[in-house]
A and B are shown apart, each in its own frame.
Chain A
C-alpha cells in the first residue's frame, strides 16, 4: 500500500477535465452508454454469421462483430474517463440506461417485436438495477 501523498498543484491541474464539451465527463459518460448500446446492436447484426454452435468464434468473420468490439473498447475508455470526474453512484445509475436503450434500439433498428410481457420484464430488471445501484457501487469498490 503506497503512502498517500498530497498531490502537488501540477498534478491537481492534470486531474481536471480538459475544457471543451467533448472532454466534459458527462459527455464521455453519455458517449460510453451510447457506444455500449451500439456495440450490442452490431454484435447482434454480426452474430447471424455464427453457425449452430454455442461459441460465437465464427462471428469474427463478420465486420459487424469487429465494429461491435471497437465500440465496446471505445466505450470502456469513455467510461473510465468519465469515472475519473463523476461520482460512482451517478455513473452507475446512468449506466442503467443501457437496459432501456438496447431493447429500444433492437426495436427501432433491428425490427424486433417487443411484447407486453417482455416490456414488463425489462421494466422490472431496470427497477432492480436502480434499487441495487448504491450498495453495488460500494461493493464494487471492495471487490
Chain B
C-alpha cells in the first residue's frame, strides 16, 4: 500500500466500498423485477379464471423450485408470481390475510403447515385424478393437499464410526454410549413431525420417556438441520437426527464432506414426511391452480425432483428415486396418516413440559 494511503485510512475504506457504490449507482433504479414469466399465447385451459397472474406462496426456496415453476409458466403461457418465504411464516400470513389473500397456491415444506391451513378451511378440494397419482399415505385424507416430494428422517454421522456400532433405531440413542454425542433440532418442523409420529405409533408414555432419555443423555441442541450436518462435519458431535437430503447438498458442494447418512428402515425414526401443495379455497384462478398442481406431479417434474441436486423422493407412483437412495419400499416407513401430523399441539406440549424447547 502506498504511503499516502497508509496515512488516509478512510480513503482505504472508501476504496473498499467503491465497487459496491459503482454497481449500485451504475444500474439505474428501475424498480422491482419480479420473476414473472409470461408467454404471448395464453391459451391453455382456464376460461373461468380471473385475469392476472397465478400467485404462488412457496415455502420451498427459489433455488429448488424456481426453474420448475418457470417451466410451468413457459409451457402453459400462464403468468406466475411467486412469493418465496418460510413455510410457517407464509402459512401464518395466509391465515392473517383472510379471504382477501392474493395467494392461489401454497407450496409448503412440511405436512404440518399444510394440515394447519386445511384445518382452518383455507384449502379447496383437489381433483381426484391428481390425487390418484400419489399414494394415499402421502396426501390429505380429505383430498385438500397432496405431497409432491418426500424426505426421510435419517441419522447423519461421522464417517469414522463403524457400521456395527451404529444404531438401527432412534430408540438406542438414549444408551449411555451416546452420551453428549448426538444432536437434534427440537424447534424444527420435521423433528416435531417425527415426535408426533412417535406419540401416535408408540404411545404418549413411550414418546415422553424417549425425549426425557435423550435430554438425560445430554443431547446437543441445534437450530436446524443444516446446523446439525455442519456440527457432524466439524466433528462437534458424532450423530444427528435430520432429513436425508441436507447432506446431499453439502456433498454436491464438496464431495469429500465428512459425514454419512444412515437410513433407518422400518424405524419410526425413519419417518417419511412430505413437502406438498394445496389450492386456496379463495383462489379466483382455480383452473390455473389445478394445472400447476398437476404439473408438479407430472412425470418430467417428478423426475427432476429426484435428480442429483434435489435428491428428494418423488411422490408420483412409478417415478423412481435416485439410485443412490434406498427406495421408499426398502425404507418401509411406519404406516401413518400424515394428515394426523398436523396435530402438533400435543407434541409441543410434551416438548415444552420436559424442557426440550428451552
**Does B bind A?**
no
Q: Which residues of B contact A (CB under 8 A)?
A: none
Using CB atoms and an 8 Å cutoff, list the residues of chain A in contact with chain B: none
